Structure 1
Amino acid sequence: MGDRGRGERRARFHRSAALALTLAAAPACVHFDNLEEPIELATHAGDWRDQVIYQILVDRFADADYGNNYGYAPDHMARYHGGDWAGIEQNLDYLQELGVTALWISPVIKNVDTDAGVDGYHGYWAQDLTATNPHFGDLAALRSLVAAAHEREMLVIIDIVTNHLGQLFYYDINLNGQPDILIQESGKFGKPVLHTTEYDPDFDPRGIQAFTSLGEAGPAPIIFQHDPATNHMPPLPVIFQDPAVYNRKGRTYNFADPDQLLHGDFPGGLKDVDTSRCDVKQAMVDSYARWIELTDADGFRIDTVKHV
């Protein structure tokens, strides 16, 4: 594909992708009555239904760079196994022989490394939207993969998450400044023992509430974790370190409840982002559009979009 064609493709992508991300997040900042002409959404890749799309969970596909195999345990189902972008690139000829015309790769950004004995090998526990996941390689390796795919006229789709971030904070329900598993009630008849983890408390439509010995004490503050060993660190960009950008209602346990579906933390402690806020939507658009600019990838698949 020539430079002119690719430039036109890129321009069409930025117009349509930015708008699509904004509308997918929430319509609150778009005023349709003020539009003087209809919006035409265009795709730079033709009709995606014409593509033979091959989904790749990067960590589980192929390992070609042993230098990024730290903290991994290939014999353990829930740990990193060592797959990386270089491994995909080495197998592009094989994929092309299968008739693949588009690769859909798992998220590329830096994740919480491990939580409760399980690794973030799948890529859906975002911690830093601006950095590559070092388990898969560096930016040069990702750019090399995309370029090699394009040489074979194959498209590259990057998986992204706009609904939530990883397990980056806990709710300080008992106001003691440390994460706890709380045991409440006496266990007597009519008062069953309740176990509440401050990492992942059940949904409360009012927002998660704090309490003291005197009873409820208003909204529970959230406290970001600082554990470099597992990459439980405050999120980036820095806007996501503001408690106000999260819905803070706790874990969804009833997906039939629209409030929980849209505003609850995703089970496993994944913190729901308030995508009704214009600044949050803009941060998402800016962060992910940057990956297109950096890598020349061709599109996004948006994870958990029905929860946004």
Structure 2
Amino acid sequence: MKKKLTAFIVLYLVFSVPVAIQAEEKNTWEDEIIYFIMIDRFNNGDASNDFEVDINDPAAYHGGDFQGIIDKLDYIKEMGFTAIWLTPIVKNEPKGYHGYWTEDFYEVEEHFGTLEEFKTLVEKAHEKDIKIILDLVVNHTGYQHPWLNDSEKQDWFHEEQSIISWDNQKNVEDGRLAGLPDLAQENPETRKYLLDMAKWWIEETDIDGYRLDTVKHVPKDFWEEFSQEVKSVKEDFFLIGEVWHSDPTYVADYAKTGIDSFVDYPFFNEATRIFSKPDQQIGKFMDGIWKRNVSLYENPYILGNFIDNHDNKRFTRLVIEKDQEPVSRLRQALTYMYTAPGIPIIYYGTEIAMDGGNDPDNRRMMEFEDHELTTYISKLADIRNKHSALTSGDVELVYDQNGMTVFKRSSEGEQLLVAINNTTEEQTITLSHEVLEEGHELQALLGEESVTGQSDGYTFTIPSEKSEIYQIKSGNEQTIALPWMIAGATVILVAGVIFILLRKKR
């Protein structure tokens, strides 16, 4: 019996210890890839809540709901997404299909489903290791909120005034954005209500984060208390804020409030300009963005990089307006987003090169189809998930000429080269041994052609408007790995022999 027990223990250690070690590894938010869904415009999974739906009216409900998202979780998972950001789910006033015209902060919008159905969505997403980030609005209510007619809540709002000067911070915080009634967070009752509400949704539904709407329109001292309160409920709760501003210093100043991350509008402004047409220089932009973010943020790896969202023309439309072909331009932009520091955020429909002008045209109903970009996104996600250098590694620009850019991502134990040909011509370049020392092989991860170093360096060719990601392999890596492989094989062999001998002695 002892011998059998010993054999069992040996086998258990051989096969379970590596699994246990792997299980202990805990993903941090820089490892995530976020899929952004406007609930009403994604997928109609439950026709029973389709009242007041008019798919021909861009300002009306189109039928998307929680069940529709549940039905497409595998679709989202297969593209490599690890988190979903949803537009607000609270009850909205008529025509509030987008979720930003709140009628009741504690009720679920009936067009989307019930609270129980939302909990089911969160539960099923978690079963697939997908986190849920909920959009939250605390700056304003809808135009017809019941509090406006409540005599006891008149001081819950700021006086009616427009935002006249965007350089006047008090006016930005107290004025009505698009005419929406502006909440007075300095009122203790209003503040307590909003804080209690934010904590309630976490406790009730087990969501993983908030995307905070209109951050710059709310005082910083509110966000300081907000950050502390929500994280008292769930310590690893993620806060990603929207500070819609082109000045990176202005955006970064809100990080002092305890908000973890931001959708990076300065990144968006430059990335859409550079990638919407060929022959634009990437390297200077990339190098500048990285050095800037390192100086401004404690953790620049968790900033949200995006080229599409629900408030701006779709990237495809920007490309079409410049007489370019959208798929090739999207492919380049996506390659950069998945290999540059930061969390990639993909707006639903970008994976099929969905077109759309200004709001609400950029919020069309999703069409599910086989598309080359869907496959490409899946491949990029797979590469990113397998290589920590792409999520938390250092960045070094090694080549940047005439629209052709090569940069290196390095972390402990691995190095990758990202080569982006942002031109309409094939580009052949040679990286000298001063840039990359001898004795390496560049293993292609997107394609199949690897590169071996020659006497003058490493020469590779990238077709027009294409990219490649190379893993830098060293001969030493194989030498170092071999003893571990032999040791592992030996342990398995010995365990197998013991098991066989014991069976013979029965």
Question: What is the TM-score normalised by the length of structure 1?
Answer: 0.60
Q: Is the 8 A contact 1:84 1:136 kept in 2?
A: yes
Shift of 1:50: 1.8
Shift of 1:241: 5.9
- Structure-2 residue corresponding to 1:120: 96
- Structure-1 residue corresponding to 2:155: 244
**Cα separation, 1, equivalents of 2:83 and 2:90:** 20
Q: Is the 8 A contact 2:147 2:154 kept in 1?
A: no
Whichever of the two has the greater Rg, that structure is 2
Q: Which amino acid aligns with 2:214?
A: T
Structure 1 residue 304 corresponds to structure 2 residue 214: yes
1:91 paired residue among 64, 68, 72: 72
Structure 1 residue 58 corresponds to structure 2 residue 39: yes
Q: Is the 8 A contact 1:128 1:235 kept in 2?
A: no
Provide Cα deviations, 1:56-82, integer angstroms capped at 9, x if missing partner: 000000000101111111111111110
Shift of 1:95: 0.2
- Structure-1 residue corresponding to 2:146: 234
Unaligned runs of 5+ in 2: 1-25, 219-506
Greater length-normalized contact order (CA 8 Å, ≥ 6 residues apart): 1
Cα 1:105–1:241 change in 2 (3 A) is farther
- Structure-1 residue corresponding to 2:121: 145
**Cα separation, 1, equivalents of 2:152 and 2:46:** 33
Unaligned runs of 5+ in 1: 1-44, 114-118, 169-232
**Cα separation, 2, equivalents of 1:122 and 1:241:** 29
Q: Is the 8 A contact 1:127 1:235 kept in 2?
A: no
- Structure-1 residue corresponding to 2:197: 287
**Cα separation, 2, equivalents of 1:291 and 1:81:** 25
- Structure-1 residue corresponding to 2:167: 256
1:76 paired residue among 57, 61, 75: 57
Q: Which amino acid aligns with 1:307?
A: H
Q: How many residues align?
A: 193
Q: Which amino acid aligns with 1:72?
A: V
Q: Which amino acid aligns with 2:209?
A: G
**Cα separation, 1, equivalents of 2:214 and 2:106:** 20
Q: Is the 8 A contact 2:89 2:108 kept in 1?
A: yes
What RMSD in Å do the two structures reach over aligned CA positions?
2.0
**Cα separation, 1, equivalents of 2:129 and 2:165:** 44
Runs of 4+ in 1 over 4 A off after TM superposition: 238-241
Question: What is the TM-score normalised by the length of structure 2?
Answer: 0.37
Q: Is the 8 A contact 1:127 1:234 kept in 2?
A: yes
**Cα separation, 2, equivalents of 1:59 and 1:278:** 34
Which secondary structure state, in structure 1, belongs to the residue aligned with residue 134 of structure 2? strand
- Structure-2 residue corresponding to 1:276: 186
Q: Which structure shows the bigger proportion of residues in helix conformation?
A: 2
Q: Is the 8 A contact 1:254 1:261 kept in 2?
A: yes
**Cα separation, 2, equivalents of 1:167 and 1:276:** 21
Structure 1 residue 100 corresponds to structure 2 residue 81: yes
Q: Is the 8 A contact 2:160 2:181 kept in 1?
A: no
Q: Is the 8 A contact 2:66 2:118 kept in 1?
A: yes
2:177 paired residue among 266, 282, 296: 266
Which secondary structure state, in structure 1, belongs to the residue aligned with residue 177 of structure 2? coil
Map 1:174-185; keep pairs closer than 5 Å.
none
Shift of 1:255: 1.9
Cα 1:251–1:46 change in 2 (3 A) is farther
Q: Is the 8 A contact 1:163 1:304 kept in 2?
A: yes
Cα 1:107–1:235 change in 2 (3 A) is farther
**Cα separation, 2, equivalents of 1:253 and 1:121:** 28
**Cα separation, 2, equivalents of 1:158 and 1:304:** 14
Q: Is the 8 A contact 1:58 1:136 kept in 2?
A: yes
Which secondary structure state, in structure 2, belongs to the residue aligned with residue 244 of structure 1? helix
Q: What is the identity percentage for the equivalent residue pairs of Structure 1 and Structure 2? A: 37
- Structure-2 residue corresponding to 1:111: 92
Which secondary structure state, in structure 1, belongs to the residue aligned with residue 36 of structure 2? strand
Provide Cα deviations, 1:229-285, integer angstroms capped at 9, x if missing partner: xxxx5149x999600111113222332222220100111x31111111222221111
Provide Cα deviations, 1:91-135, integer angstroms capped at 9, x if missing partner: 00000000000010010100111xxxxx21110001100100001
